[in-house]
Amino acid sequence: MMSPEAGLFFGLWLRKPLSIASVYPSSRFLADAFAGLTDLRRPGPVLELGAGTGSLTEGLLRAGCRPERLIILEREPALARVLRRSFRTVTVLEADATKIAGALAAHGVTRLATVVSSLPIKWFSLEAQRAVVLPCLDLLGPAGKFLQVTNGFVSPVATHSLGIAGMEARRVWRNLPPAQIWAYTRPASTVSRGS
Ligand SMILES: C[S@@+](CC[C@H](N)C(=O)[O-])C[C@H]1O[C@@H](n2cnc3c(N)ncnc32)[C@H](O)[C@@H]1O
């Protein structure tokens, strides 16, 4: 039987398929693969974009990320309520990811350790991708990674147009549908901040 959170997620998907973008929340296997790619030794908060019901959040916590270090963002008010209830000491931002620069500045965030995204970013316009990815890469600094899940076997982010580098970092078959995690970085010559 479906959990109430999975039922809410499914109901939202029926109403907004392109925004929710997935029938089911991510599997534990995908969450653990994401967490395994994050470097928690880097300083700064860990940012998650498109947190949904918190499947990937749980993976980060299982991997040892302190809840106080986590900032998770979700646009759907009903899902943000679930996240606040489930993760009481995690910072939950109810906001549009394309406004991430302002949202982080308002919280005094000046650097990020890592970014985990399950936004349906391949459906975003180029300008929206730019508004999400570039401010995050600025705050990640050199060697910081913006991790993005997809299931299309090609980069979901327009790397060439944004002037960034990207590579597939992991495939996870035990997820519905099977998923790939891409890692995006700024080419060294364009990095403007120290890490
Ligand atoms: C594929 S679901 C992933 C949910 C969850 N992280 C998981 O892995 O199960 C994508 C999530 O991104 C959210 N989302 C879509 N567009 C967004 C935007 N522009 N800003 C913030 N959240 C957005 C949706 O509401 C949805 O919860």
Which band of pLDDT confidence, cut at 50, 70 and 90, is reported for residue 190? low
CATH number, domain 27-190: 3.40.50.150
Given a cut of 50, whether residue 2 has pLDDT beyond it is yes
For ligand 1, atom 16, the nearest C-alpha belongs to 19
Q: Taking the model in full, what pTM does it have?
A: 0.94
Q: Answer yes or no: is pLDDT of 195 > 70.
A: no
Helical ranges in the chain per DSSP H: 4-15, 17-20, 28-37, 55-62, 77-86, 100-106, 126-140, 159-162
Q: So where are the chain's domains?
A: 27-190
For the chain, the distance separating the N- and C-terminal CA atoms, rounded to the nearest angstrom, is 46
Under the banding of pLDDT at 50, 70 and 90, the label for residue 23 is: confident
| Residues 60, 70 contacting (CB under 8 angstroms) | yes
Supply the pLDDT for residue 187: 84
Q: Contact, 150 vs 159, CB < 8 A?
A: no
For residue 107, the surrounding DSSP H or E stretch is none
| Residue appearing with tokens 């030794």 | 41
| pLDDT band per the 50, 70, 90 thresholds, residue 20 | confident
Q: Given a cut of 50, is residue 194 above it in pLDDT?
A: no
In angstroms, how far is CA 37 from the centroid of its own chain?
Answer: 13
pLDDT for position 117? 98
Q: Ligand 1: distance of its center to the CA of 122 in Å?
A: 12
Q: What is the pLDDT of residue 42?
A: 96
- Say if residue 170 is exposed, middle or buried (CB neighbours under 10 Å; 0-12, 13-18, 19+): middle
Indicate the pLDDT class of residue 191, thresholds 50, 70 and 90.
low
Say if residues 121 and 129 touch (Cβ distance below 8 Å). yes
- Other C-beta atoms within 10 Å of 152: how many? 10
Q: How far is the CA of 190 from the CAs of 6, 141, 182, in angstroms? A: 41, 10, 20
Which residue's CA is the closest to the ligand 1 atom numbered 9? Answer: 25
27-72, pLDDT tens digit by residue? 999 999 999 999 999 999 999 999 999 999 999 999 999 999 999 9
User: pLDDT tens-digit profile of 125-148?
Assistant: 999 999 999 999 999 998 899 999
pLDDT score for 181: 98
DSSP, collapsed to helix, strand or coil, labels residue 165 as strand
The distance between the two most distant Cα atoms of the chain, rounded to a whole number of Å, is: 52
Residues in the ligand 1 pocket, defined by CB under 6 Å: 19-22, 25-26, 50-52, 55-56, 73-76, 79, 96-98, 118-120
